Amino acid sequence: MTSSQPSQQPLLERNHSLYLLREMLRIRRFEEKCAELYSATKIRGFLHLYIGEEAVAVGVMQALEPDDAIVATYREHGHALARGVSPGAIMAEMYGKQEGCSRGRGGSMHLFDAATRFYGGNAIVGGGLPLAVGLALADKMQGRQRVTACFFGEGAVAEGEFHECMNLAALWKLPVLFCCENNLYAMGTALKRSESEIDLCLKATSYEVPAWPVDGMDVVAVEEAAQRAAAAVRAGGGPYFLEFRTYRFRAHSMFDPQLYRDKQEVEAWKERDPLNTFQVRLREQGLLEDADLARLEEEAAAEITRAVEFAEAGTWEPLEDLTKYVYSEGARS
Partner 1 sequence: MTAEAKTGRITYREAMRTALREALQRDERVFLMGEDVGRYGGCFAVSKGLLEEFGPERIRDTPLSESAFVGAGIGAALGGMRPIVEIMTVNFSLLALDQIVNNAATILHMSGGQFNIPLVIRMTTGAGRQLAAQHSHSLEGWYAHIPGIKVLTPATLEDARGMLWTALQDPDPVLIFEHGGLYNLEGELAADAGAVNIDKAAVRRPGTDVSLITYGGTLGKTLQAAEELAGMSINAEVLDLRSLRPLDTASILESVTRTHRTVIIDEGWRSGSISAEISARIMEGAFYELDVPVARVCSAEVPMPYSRHLEEAALPQVRTIVETVRQMVGSRG
User: Which residues contact partner 1 by CB under 8 A?
Assistant: 69, 98, 100-106, 110, 112-114, 119-122, 124, 127, 129-139, 141-142, 148, 160-161, 164-165, 167-168, 171, 324-333
**Least distance in angstroms from the C-beta of 13 to partner 1:** 34
**Least distance in angstroms from the C-beta of 11 to partner 1:** 39
Q: For residues 196 and 328, which CB has a smaller minimum distance to partner 1 in the complex? A: 328
Q: For residues 171 and 231, which CB has a smaller minimum distance to partner 1 in the complex? A: 171
Strands 148-153 and 118-122: unpaired
3-state secondary structure 248-297: CCCCCCCCCCCCCCCHHHHHHHHCCCHHHHHHHHHHHCCCCCHHHHHHHH
**Least distance in angstroms from the C-beta of 6 to partner 1:** 34
How far is CA 22 from each of CA 48, 82, 163, 201, 230, rounded to the nearest angstrom? 21, 10, 36, 30, 23
Is the separation of the CB atoms in 89 and 252 below 8 Å? no
**Least distance in angstroms from the C-beta of 203 to partner 1:** 15
- 316: helix, coil or strand? coil
Amino acid at 312: E
Q: For residues 14 and 324, which CB has a smaller minimum distance to partner 1 in the complex? A: 324
**Least distance in angstroms from the C-beta of 234 to partner 1:** 16
In whole angstroms, what is the distance from residue 280 CA to residue 217 CA?
13
How far is CA 12 from each of CA 23, 286, 287, 288, rounded to the nearest angstrom? 16, 10, 8, 11
Q: For residues 132 and 254, which CB has a smaller minimum distance to partner 1 in the complex? A: 132
- 72: helix, coil or strand? strand
Q: For residues 131 and 251, which CB has a smaller minimum distance to partner 1 in the complex? A: 131
In whole angstroms, what is the distance from residue 87 CA to residue 84 CA?
8
DSSP labels for 87-156? HHHHHHHHHT-TTSTTTTSS-TT---BTTTTEEEEE-STTTHHHHHHHHHHHHHHTT----EEEEEEGGG
Q: For residues 84 and 127, which CB has a smaller minimum distance to partner 1 in the complex? A: 127
**Least distance in angstroms from the C-beta of 91 to partner 1:** 15
**Least distance in angstroms from the C-beta of 320 to partner 1:** 15
In whole angstroms, what is the distance from residue 180 CA to residue 149 CA?
10
In whole angstroms, what is the distance from residue 286 CA to residue 224 CA?
21
SS3 content of the chain, % helix, strand, coil (to 5): 45, 10, 40
**Least distance in angstroms from the C-beta of 97 to partner 1:** 11
**Least distance in angstroms from the C-beta of 316 to partner 1:** 13
Q: For residues 178 and 212, which CB has a smaller minimum distance to partner 1 in the complex? A: 178
Q: For residues 241 and 269, which CB has a smaller minimum distance to partner 1 in the complex? A: 241
Is the separation of the CB atoms in 109 and 121 below 8 Å? yes
Q: Sign (positive/negative) of CA torsion 31, 33, 34, 36?
A: positive
